[in-house]
Amino acid sequence: MSNSFITTSSPFRAGLVGAGGIASTHYNGYLKADALVMGFAEPFESTRISREKEWNVKGYSSLDELLENAQLEAVSICTPNAFHFESTLKAARAGKHILCEKPLSMSLEECAEMIRVCEESGVVLQTNHHLRSNLLVQAAKKLIDSGAIGQVSFVRLRQAHDWGGSKSVRPSAIPELWRRNPAGQRLSHDGLGPLLLR
């Protein structure tokens, strides 16, 4: 895509694809940015009804319905990882800018196709990798860029979550196996393989 600016209406109009846990973060972020959340797509009726009440926003049972009925400039894709590819292609072909949760997709081939379709459609595709702004990550990038630690060819990241400062982990955040095994500890392993810090 060329170096062009996104022109938006005022206020910015966004939609959410998926209404699970991370979607609340996107929803609240849009509100803090004075954007309007015009609708969301969620296939599970009970979740859709619950979020409609909580957010006071129209829910649709599919991305197709959301794209057809809501006046959007962009979407946040907050679905399980396996649905990022298809959702991105549909949104891009509908002319919507896209903020997609990490990982962008399930393979490099799918990522390349997503990038190609977004470029052809003239829309922005951005991955929501929250650590890119982290001061420690920025310091690591400076070290890499300066050559201070040699040429980096592989990075393995292990990230422990603090659950928002809570002293305990919410039951909904613990997989069923860990509920049965109270000794289990939550450690997120982001298997990123070769990590490009650009």
Rounded to whole angstroms, what are the CA distances from 181 to 12, 160, 172, 174, 178? 45, 19, 15, 10, 5
Domain over 13-128 is classified CATH 3.40.50.720: yes
Residue type, 178: W
Question: Domain extents for the chain?
Answer: 13-128, 132-190
Mean pLDDT by 10 residues, the chain (198 residues): 52 95 94 95 96 97 96 95 96 97 92 97 90 80 91 74 52 40 36 36
In this structure, the number of other CB atoms found within 10 A of the CB of residue 172 comes to 6
User: If we measure between CA atoms, which residue out of 89, 101, 124 comes closest to residue 190?
Assistant: 101
Q: What is the model's pTM? A: 0.68
Q: Count how many residues are written for the chain.
A: 198
pLDDT score of 175: 41
